[in-house]
Structure 1
Amino acid sequence: MKFPLLTTGLCFILATNAFAQLTGTLKDEKGAALPYANVAVLQLPDSTGITGAMTNVDGSFLIPTPTPGSYILRISTIGYTQLYTAAFRVGDSSFKKDVGVVILKQDARTLREITVKTTRPAITVEADKMVVSVAGTALAAGSTAFEMLEKAPGVFVDQDGNIQLNGKAGANVMVDGRLTYFTGKELQSYLEAMSAENIKEIEVISNPSAKYEAAGSSGIINIKLKQNTRLGLNGSLNAGYQYNGASGYTAGMNLNYKAGNWNSFLNLDMAERPRLREGVMIREFHANGADAHFHQLRDETLTMHTPALRFGTDYDLNARHSLGAVVNLSMNTMDRAFYSGTDMNDRKTGKHTFIEAGNFNDNRSTNHTFNLHYNGQLDTVGTTLALSIDYIQLQNKANARYENQYQNLNDNTITDELLRTYNPGYYHIYSANADYSMKAWQKAKLEAGLKASHVVSDNELSFYEVKGEQEELDENRSNQYRYTESILAGYVNLNTNLSDTWKLQAGLRGEQTLGKGKPEASDAIRKRYLNLFPSVFLTQQVSQQYQVTYSYSRRIDRPNYRSLNPFIFYQDPYSWAEGNPDLRPQFTSVFQVNQLLHNTYSLQLGYAYTKDFFAEVPEQNSEDNTTVYKERNIDKAENYSATLIAPVKLLSGWDVSNNLVAGYQKNKIFLKEEAIQNSQLYWMLQSTHNVLLPLDLQLQATAGYNSPSNHGVYQFKRQWWLDAGLKRSFMKDKLDVTLGATDIFRTRDMRGDASYNGDVFRFVNYFMVRSIKLNLRYNFQHGQNFKARNRSIKLEELNRAGGQ
């Protein structure tokens, strides 16, 4: 019943707009029609922009009549002198006006071409977010979105792909305002399959308002893709080569087409990306009188093939209303070979064993995402309505073979073992949301919205021991798990000016969660909770150059669906990971004070308190010398942080963006009836230099340093790195050639430990991020600038599904 009513209401709005109109036709001095010119309606006496339209192919335009008042039309297009019409007065909603044929004269100043080259800031600061420029930078060429994300100030990624922001875990990653629904390794794989050359900028929002999903305790990282800004046909072709110990390639095509009321795009990416790892794992077992030593050398080769197709279109029904659709189709094929040599010496029992192991994984996953959306401006004073419907289907098939050879170093006997696993799974995610905004009073804006989502996930794990030609099912390590979850959410958000110097934004979001997990041959596990998430932002404009914002918000992180899965994921004879269906969501309260000087320099002070913080805990068993990795709720986590952004212009062609994050992280956890506190003072420094060199060369270099830090029970050692890239354009900027190098001194290795209760757990991993890249991009375009529709969509469930 609601859907027909909504459709009828929409038709009524469109029909009403068809009767009262401002019309006219635009031509040049030769009588030729001027399509896609801008016609703006300005209200007198202060020339405030009220509404507008773009001329059609024949030069005509049609604009719904504004509310009663006095107006003029401003008509402009590139290459022609801007023109203002005579003033006219609108009496009522039935008013009509035809300005006839308007002639624009060519602007003589555009007949001479002037080229000005300059650098642009790598980081800019706005009142509620930090924006990192990516488009056109030398380091973006040939890189992945994941690599660019690691370069964002305040971002730290651990060895499992978990993202921390300003020292806090729980950052949600969005693409064009749409949550990716990935976490951990799945998020890493997804972002590694996305070309950074399609990214415009990265937004870092450390304390989002109630309008955003409540998920993401440390904030939101929004990756904004490039959008079409030209009429006609335009786009680019790119190809690249990378070497990091193994060879890889990238290739892609972007097409955009704007004609009349249609704006369509198509992106195609193909890549073969090698990912190599070298590592060492050391464990010592001393609890309960044990005395054993585990030393493992690791060598991993992983190759990903990632074809992806993304296309969509928007249609302008009229100047105020548009409909659109976006489709994403992608496939990820991953071949992995993981070799390890493990020396296991149990001095208490006298058993000394050396294990040579090979893990071979063949994973195939597909992702189909479909979106329909409507954007409407319901009147001339800023009332808007946005509707979005999404369906996501994720499917994956994972086959693994584990070859183990045990050599008893006491008597030199050798035993072979062969294991196989089959792990298919799927996710179906349905989501719909509506966002409404209106002018509440003279200086106030009211926003409200609803969202409903439903997730169905089903995973199966079959574990086999292979003996001869026979495969025997190991029922203790096999399982099937089905999980369904529904979330109903609503929010209201108010923005208002309290005075000339004070602004207030206050909001409240409510989310009802209904979940049900059903392991095979076990009782169902039900999750049902309703939570409220308030947010308050109070901004003081101390002077024209100095602004202070005080903010508070409450946020939630739900466990991703993989973490709730009770499966046992085999790694080697002495190590495996295990899901935890009893995981509870974690809740975080965030307090911040953000100072902004000259709209350039920013100092943000913050405190965050997290209850039921969940983190991976390696539990070592001294009885059989095994280690089980399991995510669990620890007692609490506290974080004190300060973030400073200070750009500097050294020369006219040399800009430097500096970012410093300092803080204190404190975690408290109870393990084996013992309270363990993991505290650490940390700081992260990053400096990015953009330099214009002779011969039209552009240099971008980024140097970074991370001090020792912590997460959960882990302590991470310091790391530093230097990346650099050179870019030069040819053929009147149509062809870009880029040469880049990452981790030039091979210093960005991951070192850490998690030692407690007398046991020792240490590791070193280097993911071969040192690489050299050569990339070519050819750009073709034709037309004039126009305002592209925003295709941002907000989803959250897929982030926890481990795929998009």
Structure 2
Amino acid sequence: MRNFKTNPKIWLFCSTITNSKYVLELVVFFILISVSSVKAQDLSVSGAVLTKEGKPLNYATVSLINAKDSALMETAFSDANGIYKFMPLKAGEYIVSVEAIGFNTKTSLPFLYALTQVVVDTITIEESSENLKEVVVTTSKPTIERKDNRMVINVAGSVLAAGNNAIDILERAPGVSVDRDGNISLNGKAGVTVMINDKLSYLSNSQLAGMLRSTNGNTIQAIEIMTNPSSKYDASGNSGIINIRLKKNKENGFNGSLILGVGHGHYVSDNASLSLNAKTGNLNSFANISRINDKKFINLSSDRIIDSSGFKTIYSQKSSIKDVAINNSYRIGADYETGKNNTLGIVINGYFNDKNIANKGIATIIDPLNKNLTKQISVSDDNRTLNNVGINLNDRFRLDTIGQALSIDLDYIKYKNNGDALLSTLYDNSEGNRQQQSPYYLRQNTSAAIVVHAGKADYISPDFKTVKIETGIKISEVKTDNTLEVLTSSDDVDYVFNPQLSNQFIYKERIQASYINLTKKRKQTTIQLGLRSEHTTSKGTLLNSNEPSITQKYLDFFPNLFVLQSLNAKNKISLNLSRRIERPNYQSLNPFAYYIDPYTRQLGNPFLKPQYTNNIELNYSYSRFDVGLSYAHTTNVSTETVVTDTISKISSVTFINLNSLERYTISTNYSYSLANWWSGNINGYLTYNNYNLNGSSGVNQENKNLSYNIKSTQNFRISNNYKLEINARYQSQFVYGLYHLRPFSSIDAGVSHSFWSDRANLKISVNDIFNERKTDLTLETKGSHIHGYQKNDTRLIRFVFTYNFGSKSLKSTSHLSSATDEKSRAGN
């Protein structure tokens, strides 16, 4: 048995962690590491592929050949650590052959396989004498791929990605919908967790939407959609996880790209970004800076009918909004290989954004007897600054040549948002004369700070008695400090502090998690069984208030089962069962009353409970065709609603827990190639949602609906230098919580031209060509009926120029996989 003390890195890590008071949570983790270090007998043939410099070679083609007749038995690819593995069915004499672009083919010496484990001597291959100085890979990956328990959208190279931000690109992904406020749902179901490079953002929905809008689409490599992720991932996200993988080049030498873009809708917008990469010896460094100057025009209208003891008040409002955002983001980092088995890394990323929202609204208020018609003219000017910095330190080291590995990540993230909003309201009577009612002036100064500390350790043993073991721990601490300072005035000159409307809310949360995944592969069957535990402690305190602090403590277990059966080379069927949680975001817990106008405000709910979902999903795939059936049952459904005080007529946009949601879904995805110049994808889902409101809206009722969504992407290669892409989508009428939303559709198109030996590219695209994208909804609650309409500035034409410079030598094949590099950094 291997002792931890023989490896000083593991011993130091264990000593540091076990000195804390959370020893019990780590017992399983370290027992598994100790036990799995025993080299039990198994049936595999494995080995490693290294370059002449002793570095792992990723994505090399490894063939298992019968030594007697040279028959090809199996083919595999080396992973990020250069490891490959076979499970031969017959005893005999074999040879391993390794091929990789830019390298000479290398074969092993013959070896005997007698149904016991065989570790082939490390194979070292050298670069081809031709050196492939200027290799141009013309083969493109399909836009959408299905990989076991996830769907991968290859964004890099997409015509429509140019000039768009991450939110725009997510809207085109299969099954993904983004509402007017940037909230993301998957296959018609809310509660999606969005990760960037396998890391949580710890943001509220609106803050996350802001961050994604500041993420340039040209920096995205791929998007992974996991409706039922394994226990390795955080349990948050009722409808699954969307993982955005950013580009990171590992080509030798110095290289980079410059991107300049301009767009025109109602206003002119522009964007620019610069990416730099340098790899010398064991050091790989990268940097990206981007700027997006985004201007949008939004039309809003709403009609509220408030019923108070049979007397109805009508509140009809129309607003015009100019939304200007200047988003500046950066990402810099480096990886250093301290040896052939260890890589240290650091990544620093963040943004500093300025935002101004100018809103002018005119409301007509009719009293119950229709005797008084009042016009309310509200003008608001909302200025915000949003800043973020995140630091990640990571260490990846291999424990042996078979694939045992340990990875450690430490994260520090800080968000700082400040806002200064001035709301001015004047009143007119039905004759247009100024009423005696005094003008209403309100200044709201907001400050929100979020600090995150997180650490995790992941261990993998790919070959313990033919079972792959993954286990790990994670501890995260989050503190949010929100301050609202309200000042009122009757003349827009002298403002007086209003203590009744002002306050400070502090929220603290700590999550301690551990998990284990067991994966068994036998012939054509793969079984993965996982269990994750998460202990949550949270405390919300409203200062300057007599209200007591709200404290919650709960321990949850989240099992996961994944079974994949390969019927043959093209036919696969899989079954996935999981349990997940969705905790309230920080913004929805904040009890502040933030006024949009005198009769409309946003109000958090500190008593919100987490919601839980049990999922079962059955998938069948044939070549490039996939179809899935799923059922999900959610309790304590958290949703947005509008609560209206029938006396004061003030409507509060807030959050509540519904009783439950039952959801049945059929989803399908088909990628095809009709000719060598025409490929495409069509996907969609049909879903039945049944919300059990249980009195949450003031009456006992159900809100149910059958809806569907269809998306299609067509890619045309007009010539070697020209590409055309068309994207279309249609969403039928659907329900979301208490809301009913009407159908919408949109069509996007773009063309790209490559020149200057493929170093330069010009892309022209048009979003929402027919200007059909809109939000049209109704809401029925006790005492009120609401109809809302929102039309954003969705029809845009964009011009984006890209220039790539520096070395283009293809020294390894690691970058041929759309997300291989990021997977190696995440320990996948």
With the shorter chain as reference, the TM-score category is 0.7 to 0.9
Tell me which residue corresponds to 1:306.
327
Displacement after TM superposition at 1:350 (Å)? 3.3
Is structure 2 residue 462 aligned with structure 1 residue 462?
no
Give TM-score, length-normalised by structure 1. Answer: 0.88
**Contact conserved, 1:287 with 1:757, CA < 8 A, in 2?**
no
SS at match of 2:241: strand
**Contact conserved, 1:176 with 1:792, CA < 8 A, in 2?**
no
Pick the aligned partner of 1:130 from 151, 154, 160.
151
Displacement after TM superposition at 1:352 (Å)? 2.0
Distance 1:281 1:106, change over 3 A: same
Equivalent runs, 1:747-758 vs 2, <5 Å:
747-757=772-782
Distance 1:741 1:587, change over 3 A: same
Is structure 2 residue 814 aligned with structure 1 residue 784?
no
Tell me which residue corresponds to 2:24.
none
Is structure 2 residue 576 aligned with structure 1 residue 551?
yes
Tell me which residue corresponds to 1:418.
441
Name the stretch that deviates more: 415-424 or 167-176: 415-424
Is structure 2 residue 609 aligned with structure 1 residue 584?
yes
SS at match of 2:210: helix
Pick the aligned partner of 1:449 from 472, 485, 488.
472
Is structure 2 residue 669 aligned with structure 1 residue 660?
no
- One-letter amino acid of the counterpart of residue 520, structure 2: T
Displacement after TM superposition at 1:103 (Å)? 8.2
For residues 181-213 of structure 1, give each alpha carbon's deviation from its aligned partner in whole angstroms, at most 9, with x where no partner exists. Answer: 334222221111111111111111111111111
**Unaligned segments of structure 2, at least 5 residues:** 16-32, 34-46, 68-72, 83-92, 113-118, 815-819
SS at match of 1:763: strand
**Contact conserved, 2:62 with 2:98, CA < 8 A, in 1?**
no
Tell me which residue corresponds to 2:650.
626
Task: Supply the distance in 2 between the matched residues of 1:733 and 1:284 (Cα, whole angstroms).
Answer: 60
Tell me which residue corresponds to 1:540.
565
Task: Supply the distance in 2 between the matched residues of 1:392 and 1:354 (Cα, whole angstroms).
Answer: 46
Equivalent runs, 1:563-582 vs 2, <5 Å:
563-582=588-607
For residues 582-614 of structure 1, give each alpha carbon's deviation from its aligned partner in whole angstroms, at most 9, with x where no partner exists. Answer: 00000001111111112x111010011110001
Tell me which residue corresponds to 2:285.
264
Equivalent runs, 1:334-483 vs 2, <5 Å:
334-348=355-369, 350-409=371-430, 412-414=433-435, 415-439=438-462, 441-468=464-491, 469-483=493-507
Tell me which residue corresponds to 2:700.
675
Displacement after TM superposition at 1:162 (Å)? 1.2
Task: Supply the distance in 1 between the matched residues of 2:464 and 2:701 (Cα, whole angstroms).
Answer: 53
SS at match of 1:755: strand
For residues 255-303 of structure 1, give each alpha carbon's deviation from its aligned partner in whole angstroms, at most 9, with x where no partner exists. Answer: 1111111111000101211122112111111252121111111111111
SS at match of 1:684: strand
Displacement after TM superposition at 1:562 (Å)? 1.2
Tell me which residue corresponds to 1:511.
534
Name the stretch that deviates more: 675-684 or 469-478: 469-478
Is structure 2 residue 754 aligned with structure 1 residue 729?
yes
Task: Supply the distance in 2 between the matched residues of 1:792 and 1:476 (Cα, whole angstroms).
Answer: 53
For residues 429-448 of structure 1, give each alpha carbon's deviation from its aligned partner in whole angstroms, at most 9, with x where no partner exists. Answer: 10000111113534311111
**Unaligned segments of structure 1, at least 5 residues:** 14-20, 27-32, 56-69, 90-94, 796-804
Task: Supply the distance in 1 between the matched residues of 2:590 and 2:176 (Cα, whole angstroms).
Answer: 28
Task: Supply the distance in 2 between the matched residues of 1:265 and 1:594 (Cα, whole angstroms).
Answer: 39
- One-letter amino acid of the counterpart of residue 593, structure 1: L
Distance 1:666 1:629, change over 3 A: same
**Contact conserved, 1:327 with 1:371, CA < 8 A, in 2?**
yes
Tell me which residue corresponds to 1:225.
246
- One-letter amino acid of the counterpart of residue 105, structure 2: Q
SS at match of 2:448: strand
Task: Supply the distance in 2 between the matched residues of 1:171 and 1:217 (Cα, whole angstroms).
Answer: 6
Displacement after TM superposition at 1:502 (Å)? 3.1
Name the stretch that deviates more: 672-681 or 271-280: 672-681
Equivalences, count: 761
For residues 208-251 of structure 1, give each alpha carbon's deviation from its aligned partner in whole angstroms, at most 9, with x where no partner exists. Answer: 11111100000111111112131111110010001111111111
SS at match of 1:643: strand
Pick the aligned partner of 1:316 from 337, 340, 358.
337
Task: Supply the distance in 2 between the matched residues of 1:444 and 1:81 (Cα, whole angstroms).
Answer: 33
Displacement after TM superposition at 1:428 (Å)? 1.1
Equivalent runs, 1:249-260 vs 2, <5 Å:
249-260=270-281
Task: Supply the distance in 1 between the matched residues of 2:742 and 2:651 (Cα, whole angstroms).
Answer: 22
- One-letter amino acid of the counterpart of residue 368, structure 1: V
Distance 1:314 1:276, change over 3 A: same
- One-letter amino acid of the counterpart of residue 437, structure 1: I
- One-letter amino acid of the counterpart of residue 422, structure 1: N
For residues 63-117 of structure 1, give each alpha carbon's deviation from its aligned partner in whole angstroms, at most 9, with x where no partner exists. Answer: xxxxxxx99997877556434476799xxxxx9x9999x9876359x69x99785
Task: Supply the distance in 2 between the matched residues of 1:548 and 1:52 (Cα, whole angstroms).
Answer: 25
Distance 1:282 1:34, change over 3 A: same
Name the stretch that deviates more: 39-48 or 766-775: 39-48
Displacement after TM superposition at 1:160 (Å)? 1.9
- One-letter amino acid of the counterpart of residue 424, structure 1: S
SS at match of 1:512: strand
Task: Supply the distance in 2 between the matched residues of 1:757 and 1:214 (Cα, whole angstroms).
Answer: 35
Task: Supply the distance in 2 between the matched residues of 1:410 and 1:175 (Cα, whole angstroms).
Answer: 56
Task: Supply the distance in 2 between the matched residues of 1:119 and 1:769 (Cα, whole angstroms).
Answer: 29
- One-letter amino acid of the counterpart of residue 620, structure 1: T
Task: Supply the distance in 2 between the matched residues of 1:448 and 1:103 (Cα, whole angstroms).
Answer: 36
For residues 482-505 of structure 1, give each alpha carbon's deviation from its aligned partner in whole angstroms, at most 9, with x where no partner exists. Answer: 1111110011111113x4343211
Distance 1:616 1:252, change over 3 A: same
**Contact conserved, 1:183 with 1:560, CA < 8 A, in 2?**
yes
Task: Supply the distance in 1 between the matched residues of 2:315 and 2:221 (Cα, whole angstroms).
Answer: 47
Pick the aligned partner of 1:701 from 716, 726, 731.
726
Displacement after TM superposition at 1:49 (Å)? 8.1
CA root-mean-square deviation: 3.6
Displacement after TM superposition at 1:793 (Å)? 8.1
Task: Supply the distance in 2 between the matched residues of 1:467 and 1:768 (Cα, whole angstroms).
Answer: 35
- One-letter amino acid of the counterpart of residue 701, structure 1: I
Give TM-score, length-normalised by structure 2. Answer: 0.85
**Contact conserved, 1:40 with 1:52, CA < 8 A, in 2?**
no
For residues 166-190 of structure 1, give each alpha carbon's deviation from its aligned partner in whole angstroms, at most 9, with x where no partner exists. Answer: 1111011111111233342222211
- One-letter amino acid of the counterpart of residue 320, structure 1: N
For residues 288-341 of structure 1, give each alpha carbon's deviation from its aligned partner in whole angstroms, at most 9, with x where no partner exists. Answer: 212111111111111111111110011112222111110013101101101111
Higher relative CO (Cα under 8 Å, sequence separation at least 6) belongs to: 1
Distance 1:24 1:209, change over 3 A: closer
Equivalent runs, 1:5-404 vs 2, <5 Å:
6=9, 8-9=11-12, 79=102, 81-84=104-107, 106-107=129-130, 120-348=141-369, 350-404=371-425
Name the stretch that deviates more: 259-268 or 752-761: 752-761
Task: Supply the distance in 2 between the matched residues of 1:791 and 1:602 (Cα, whole angstroms).
Answer: 24
Distance 1:290 1:626, change over 3 A: farther
**Contact conserved, 2:646 with 2:783, CA < 8 A, in 1?**
no
SS at match of 1:674: coil
Task: Supply the distance in 1 between the matched residues of 2:77 and 2:364 (Cα, whole angstroms).
Answer: 74
**Contact conserved, 1:42 with 1:71, CA < 8 A, in 2?**
no
**Contact conserved, 1:37 with 1:75, CA < 8 A, in 2?**
no
